[in-house]
Amino acid sequence: MSMQVSSYDLIHEDRQKGIFRVNRQALTSDDVLALERERIFKRCWLYLGHASEVRKPGDFVTRKVMRRPIIFNRDKHGELRAFYNTCPHRGAQVCRERAGSAKSFQCAYHGWTFDNDGGLRGVPGRESYPKDFNANGMYDLPEVQRMESYCDFVFVNFDAGAESLEDYLGGAKDYLQLIALQSKVGMEVISGTQEYHARANWKLLLENSADGYHALTTHATYFDYLKERDGKAAVENNKGKSVFNKPFGQVIDLGNGHTVSESDGAIPWGRPIARFRPGMGEAAREAIEEVRRQLVDRLGEERARIVAEKDFNMLVFPNLAVLNIMAVTVRTFYPLAPDKMDVRAWALGPQDEAATLRDLRMRNFVEFLGPAGFATPDDVEMLELCQEGYQCQPGADWNDLSRGMLTEHEHAAKQDEMQMRNFWRRWRQMLASDDRVSFKIAS
């Protein structure tokens, strides 16, 4: 049996009573996923990559953005480009490498050749086509409708009429700047991509990426390890207080469904530019002090403090998480099915980083958030446990996200759930946009 509902029926929000619940059909229904593809992924700005991945003219990487294979490259004029990786002849993927440098791309099927600026250069049997074949460029490599970047974060949009990336990002821009300011010569993706699947709905990782209070239970092993390795200081904030004693940090609505959960120097297992921690090893002490001195010279005391010490997990709607904790992790994830997602994550670091600090950064990146680290396998296990629980529909039908709901306008704490509610409100609005077309769910 099925019934027609809209996204508004899938979210139960009662501001007076302080209740916010999401119907689990939002995490299991094929119809919901089909609508998300149409109304969210075809309209929003989606993260493609970082400019440092294609540093020199000719450099390219290939990757999928919402199932669409894309060539992200820097053309011979030094411009960033995003092409659909499909031959205008009969559709084969023109570039089959994951990364490299190329002046041109030759399709493996019939041998059409394209310049790295997308222009069609060679067609076997050219004499059998009209003289003005491709005079209007209709057989050049097709370009993605929109590509724009901000602070070297490059995004695409499949909607030619979409608002500009900067308007879309809104308050998220300030936080991307805080990443970019970490180096005077620019940040870079440190080679290597973390890739994994999880048997869970993609939105569960969105929620988890800024879930401010699961760590104590889900990641208990990690804190035990830290305490054993570095002593009590390992879990103390910059005021010498245990971070477990009192809630800390805040959540800020950045507009358009983006949210940041942040704290100033309160997280003790910080990034290798913030401050020295015992577990980092003595060699790092001097290097960290030097980084801080340079930041102060370049940005002044106060701005330098913010860049060095503000830890944050930012969610950029719909599926980008920028995690400025321990290292800088850029993570994106796409649905393969309602109960399966594909995750990609990269580490960013200053291009001019000292070797000791780069080692530390990579250790943090792999040790905590890596697919075989202390955190990610635990998180994935939790998400899969949740997804499995959603089999109990109908009967057990709602997820709760009410924590801090009654006070979210005056104060939203990191340990509350405003970051998730903010996402879901935007989700609800986008899915219902225009005509509130309804879709079927099982009942």
Residues that bind ligand FES (CB under 6 A): 87, 89-92, 107, 109-112
In the complex, minimum distance from the CB of residue 266 to Fe ion, in angstroms, rounded to a whole number: 17
Query: Is there binding between residue 379 and Fe ion (CB under 5 A)?
Result: yes
**405 in helix, strand or coil?**
helix
By beta-carbon proximity to Fe ion, the closer residue of 148 and 379 is 379
Task: List phi, psi (to 5°) of 180.
Answer: -60, -35
Contacts of 409 (CB under 8 A, 6+ apart): none
By beta-carbon proximity to Fe ion, the closer residue of 181 and 382 is 382
In the complex, minimum distance from the CB of residue 364 to Fe ion, in angstroms, rounded to a whole number: 14
Candidates 376, 324, 371; CA nearest to 219 is 376
Which among Fe ion, ligand FES, none contacts residue 129 (Cβ within 5 to 8 A by kind)?
A: none
CB atoms within 10 A of CB 79: 10
By beta-carbon proximity to ligand FES, the closer residue of 107 and 210 is 107
Task: Quote the CA–CA distance of 77 and 79 in Å, as a whole number.
Answer: 6
In the complex, minimum distance from the CB of residue 87 to ligand FES, in angstroms, rounded to a whole number: 3
Burial class (CB in 10 A: 0-12, 13-18, 19+), 90: exposed
- Could you give the dihedral angle defined by the CA atoms of residues 44, 48, 51 and 55, in that order, rounded to the nearest 10 degrees? -150
The residue range among 71-79, 174-182, 351-359, 369-377 that interacts with Fe ion, by the rule CB under 5 A, is: 369-377
Which among Fe ion, ligand FES, none contacts residue 110 (Cβ within 5 to 8 A by kind)?
A: ligand FES
In the complex, minimum distance from the CB of residue 69 to ligand FES, in angstroms, rounded to a whole number: 13
By beta-carbon proximity to ligand FES, the closer residue of 95 and 430 is 95
Which among Fe ion, ligand FES, none contacts residue 204 (Cβ within 5 to 8 A by kind)?
A: none
State the residue for tokens 């077309």.
437
Which among Fe ion, ligand FES, none contacts residue 229 (Cβ within 5 to 8 A by kind)?
A: none
Candidates 389, 345, 343; CA nearest to 368 is 345
By beta-carbon proximity to ligand FES, the closer residue of 89 and 285 is 89
Taking the mean position of all CA atoms in its chain, how far away is CA 414?
19
In the complex, minimum distance from the CB of residue 90 to ligand FES, in angstroms, rounded to a whole number: 4
By beta-carbon proximity to Fe ion, the closer residue of 39 and 331 is 331
93: tokens are: 């993927």
By beta-carbon proximity to ligand FES, the closer residue of 117 and 264 is 117
Q: Please answer whether residues 426 and 256 qualify as being in contact, where contact means their C-beta atoms are separated by less than 8 angstroms.
A: yes
Which among Fe ion, ligand FES, none contacts residue 379 (Cβ within 5 to 8 A by kind)?
A: Fe ion
Query: Is there binding between residue 13 and Fe ion (CB under 5 A)?
Result: no
Task: Quote the CA–CA distance of 433 and 40 in Å, as a whole number.
Answer: 10
In the complex, minimum distance from the CB of residue 362 to ligand FES, in angstroms, rounded to a whole number: 40
Determine the residue with CB nearest Fe ion. Answer: 379
In the complex, minimum distance from the CB of residue 110 to ligand FES, in angstroms, rounded to a whole number: 3
Cα-based distances in Å from 294 to 38, 187, 301, 319: 47, 15, 10, 34
**156 in helix, strand or coil?**
strand
By beta-carbon proximity to Fe ion, the closer residue of 339 and 379 is 379
Residue 66 backbone class (left: φ over 0; alpha: ψ -120 to 50; beta: rest): left
In the complex, minimum distance from the CB of residue 82 to ligand FES, in angstroms, rounded to a whole number: 19
Task: List phi, psi (to 5°) of 388.
Answer: -60, -40
Query: Is there binding between residue 207 and Fe ion (CB under 5 A)?
Result: no
By beta-carbon proximity to ligand FES, the closer residue of 68 and 344 is 68
In the complex, minimum distance from the CB of residue 109 to ligand FES, in angstroms, rounded to a whole number: 4
Which among ligand FES, Fe ion, none contacts residue 92 (Cβ within 5 to 8 A by kind)?
A: ligand FES
Residues facing residue 2 across a β-bridge: 442
Task: Quote the CA–CA distance of 432 and 96 in Å, as a whole number.
Answer: 38
Taking the mean position of all CA atoms in its chain, how far away is CA 363?
20
Count residues contacting Fe ion (CB under 5 A)?
Answer: 2
The residues of the shown chain that bind Fe ion, judged by CB under 5 A, are: 375, 379
